[in-house]
């Protein structure tokens, strides 16, 4: 059972979602009903709560034709960044929690992730390929400052000389430049920094606990100077709201030191669609009709098209125009769409033979 489905604004302060509808697998739904007393109460804003879960394994495998990796690690479930458009929100329903406010406030951390990773990398049948991190929820969300799970994972990957690709909006990644710099110079890592808009006010409303766009651009600069190949990601690109910024975002990333770029149109799977539309109605009611019309045009008349090969690109006139604008922009800026594959030939099993750091967990 989730918290109340609709909360007063004071309780949602600093959060993107304003509701907490029950997950789609729950048998019962909770609704607010007046009891006739109508007594005013000063309740505190929702606080972030973190549950620790000791994972049995940490490397998740996939066979999706839409993504360029077959394995990933998610140190956390749920994300305190609270991006209203996040396509990962529906995954919280599998935990019996709401994709709404619960996704931003009821988080799970895996404190034994580094220990389990050592065991999996040491398995005799393990064969290295790039591990993707940050593909579901952000490994550098605020709670990483305390839990340091991502730091432990990187220490393991560095010891094993294992390739890793990271996507984040979190500037906390700068803390780990002592690891990422040498790995980047060795061809073992690359980082994607997502900048959805250059408008600070829009970003604060849409991504309430994410560092400002200007701050993220400075993170690109720092990583690039350390020798890490960085991709500027104008994602998600929102028709009628941020699509006009595409070229400006890519140019800002290039000036900061990015060498590659990417963009993905907004996706609204399952519970994300009503959350997004409620957010639009509250913050940009004058643009809601235009934004949703373009989104539906791109997804065959629906809020979202889940079909392989279309869900991350869209179709139709608007999607084609974005692809052409993106291709022209990166060509003019000297950016590339695809970076060279990360190296796997340096992989070595750490902690055996005496010469490597011994992870004796």
Domains of the chain by start residue, with CATH: 9-32+45-333 (3.80.30.30)
Taking the model in full, what pTM does it have?
Answer: 0.92
Predicted confidence (pLDDT) per residue in 197-234, tens digit: 999 999 999 999 999 999 999 999 999 999 999 999 99
Residues of the chain with pLDDT under 70: 1-7, 30-42, 352-361
Predicted confidence (pLDDT) per residue in 308-327, tens digit: 888 888 999 999 999 999 99
Please report the pLDDT score of residue 358 as a whole number. Answer: 53
Beta-carbon contacts of residue 99 (< 8 Å; ≥ 6 apart)? 21, 23, 89, 90, 91, 92, 93, 270, 271, 272, 275
Please report the pLDDT score of residue 34 as a whole number. Answer: 63
Distances from the Cα of 356 to the Cα of 130, 182, 349, 352, angstroms: 21, 17, 8, 7
SS3 234: strand
The two structure tokens encoding residue 227: 């020798």
């Amino acid at each position: 059972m989730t918290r109340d489905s609709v909360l007063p604004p004071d309780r949602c302060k600093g959060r993107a979602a304003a509701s907490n509808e029950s997950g789609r697998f729950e048998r019962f739904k909770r609704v607010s009903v007046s009891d006739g007393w109508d007594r005013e109460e000063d309740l505190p804003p929702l606080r972030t709560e973190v549950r620790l879960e000791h994972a049995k394994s940490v490397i998740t495998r996939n066979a999706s034709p839409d993504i360029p990796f077959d394995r990933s690690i998610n140190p956390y479930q749920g994300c305190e960044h609270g991006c209203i458009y996040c396509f990962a929100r529906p995954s919280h329903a599998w935990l019996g929690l709401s994709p709404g406010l619960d996704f931003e406030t009821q988080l799970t951390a895996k404190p034994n992730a580094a220990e389990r990773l050592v065991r999996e990398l040491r398995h005799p049948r393990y064969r290295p390929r790039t591990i993707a991190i940050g593909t579901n929820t952000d490994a550098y969300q605020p709670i990483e400052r305390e839990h340091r799970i991502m730091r432990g994972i990187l220490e393991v990957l560095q010891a094993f000389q294992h390739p890793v690709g990271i996507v984040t909006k979190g500037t906390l990644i700068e803390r780990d430049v002592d690891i990422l710099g040498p790995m980047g110079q060795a061809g073992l890592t690359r980082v994607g920094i997502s900048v959805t808009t250059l408008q600070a006010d829009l970003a604060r409303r849409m991504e309430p606990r994410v560092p400002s766009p200007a701050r993220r651009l400075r993170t690109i600069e720092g990583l690039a100077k350390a020798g890490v190949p960085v991709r500027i990601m104008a994602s998600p690109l929102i028709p009628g709201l941020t699509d006009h910024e595409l070229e400006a975002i890519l140019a800002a990333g290039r000036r900061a030191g990015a060498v590659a770029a990417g963009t993905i149109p907004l996706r609204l799977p399952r519970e994300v669609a009503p959350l997004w539309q409620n957010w639009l109605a509250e913050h940009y009611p004058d643009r809601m009709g235009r934004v949703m019309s373009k989104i539906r045009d791109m997804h065959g008349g629906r809020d979202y098209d889940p079909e392989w090969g279309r869900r991350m690109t869209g179709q139709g006139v608007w999607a084609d125009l974005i692809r052409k604008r993106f291709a022209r922009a990166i060509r003019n800026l000297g950016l590339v769409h695809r970076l060279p594959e990360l190296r796997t030939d340096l992989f070595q099993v750490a902690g055996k033979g005496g010469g490597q750091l011994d992870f004796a967990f």
